Homo-oligomer: A and B are copies of this chain.
């Protein structure tokens, strides 16, 4: 079982240059740990497997991250950090209310579809009752910039009379995330129950507009909307 040459498996560069590079090594461990944790969960993920895939020794993982749990926390921080970065590129301010809402919905849907490992990681962390995300200073401080954007879109929409005044940014965010995450997170039990392929391009495309539609119909004002656009 313990093969002699576990090293150098994941290495394709000139082999010389990047040994003894603290930051690069840590980043490599993190990326592979991310994949392993997302695939197998906190218990299921295996330190030996991570080491083997990273082309290093298991000891090195503990050298940098102290314990499996701390490694998991570091992985969570990285994953959430990437999402935050993506959200910053979403410029909703320039759009009209309806376009902004639809763009927000589609962006969120696309992100989750493109990052199922992230969705799985979040599900795993919830199974563990969020005890790691709580323990992380970085994560508890990490506010989600998208909330501010949503608030501004809502404010604008309300002042224009296009969006209902009682809509709350956090509720809207929860609604959207619920719809978007479900398509990835609960894919398997849903498919098994209804013999429904949620991964086909058509199904995804349909769900994508469906979610935008749900969201827009939820926030728009009763009278104005139907006539105002189109």
With an 8 Å Cβ cutoff, the count of chain A residues facing the other chain is: 52
Q: How far is the CB of A13 from chain B (nearest CB, A)?
A: 33
Q: Interface code A109-136, partner B: CB below 8 Å = 1, 0 otherwise? A: 0000000000010111111011101100
Which residues from B are CB-within-8-Å of A194?
144, 147, 170
Contacts A43-B43, A182-B181; is A218 near B213 (CB within 8 Å)?
Answer: yes
Q: Chain A interface (Cβ within 8 Å of chain B)?
A: 41, 43-44, 120, 122-127, 129-131, 133-134, 139-140, 142-144, 147, 170-171, 174-175, 177-179, 181-183, 185-194, 196, 206-207, 210, 213-214, 217-218, 222-223, 226
Residues in B with CB closer than 8 Å to A123 are: 123, 126-127, 185-186
- A170 vs B195: C-alpha distance when bound (angstroms): 11
Distance (whole angstroms) from the CB of A106 to the closest CB of chain B: 16
What is the predominant secondary structure among interface residues of chain A facing chain B? helix
Given contacts A182-B178, A223-B226, contact A188 B43 (CB under 8 A): no
Would you give the shortest CB distance from A213 to chain B, in whole angstroms? 7
Closest A-B pairs by Cβ, 7 of them: A130-B188, A178-B182, A133-B192, A43-B43, A222-B226, A214-B218, A178-B179
A124, A182, A191, A213: residue with the most chain B Cβ atoms closer than 10 Å: A182
